[in-house]
Amino acid sequence: METKVKQVKEVMHKGAEWRSPDTPLSEIAKLMSEQDVGAIPIGENDKMIGMVTDRDMVCRGFSNGKDLSTLKARDVMSKGIFYCSEDEDIEEAVQMMQKNKIRRLPVIDGKKRLVGMLSIGDLSHAAPSKLTSDLVAAVADHHA
């Protein structure tokens, strides 16, 4: 019996929202805590322009001795953004994540609106274990 390949929209974390690059870092941190997520997409002029991850906040903010109370999302965000379509097969999204060594991928709909996030955690519950383990190995490769 052949199993149907799942689409991103079936496994993604729904309801993601972006924030302005001028959003205070304290607000980004609070949002991450409230939503139990590790990344917030950043958008400007109706376009995603980057992502703030919990790691960005520590490595580009806290560890550099900056005054955290004055930092904005743009001060620590990873610039440029990779994303996938909600209608893509999860294998395609995983390939993009592997190639670019990213753990989280914003998901857009047909109108190019942010509708969710796809994470390794989401995939671990829905994708074949071989696909997930290959992704984890690729993402962690730079730590080897």
Q: Which of residues 30 and 5 earns the better pLDDT score?
A: 30
Question: CA 109, CA 119: separation in Å to the nearest integer?
Answer: 17
Q: What is the pTM of this model?
A: 0.82
Structure tokens at 106: 């914003």
89 CB-near residues (< 8 Å, 6+ apart): 5, 6, 7, 8
CA 2 to mean position of chain CA atoms: 31
109-143 pLDDT, tens digit per residue, is 988 889 999 988 888 877 666 777 777 777 776 55
Residue in 60, 54, 55, 140 with CA at minimum distance from that of residue 97: 140
What's the Cα-to-Cα distance from 76 to each of 4, 52, 69, 111, 112, rounded to whole Å? 40, 7, 13, 28, 25
24-69 pLDDT, tens digit per residue, is 999 999 999 998 888 999 999 888 999 999 989 888 887 777 777 8
Averaged over 16-30, what is the pLDDT? 94
Domains and CATH numbers, the chain: 8-143 (3.10.580.10)
Question: CA 61, CA 42: separation in Å to the nearest integer?
Answer: 16
- Least confident piece of the model among 4-8, 22-26, 95-99, 128-132: 128-132
Cβ atoms of 42 and 50 closer than 8 Å: yes
- Confidence label for 1 from pLDDT (cuts 50, 70 and 90): very low
- Confidence label for 144 from pLDDT (cuts 50, 70 and 90): very low
Q: Look at residue 3 and tell me whether its pLDDT is greater than 60.
A: no
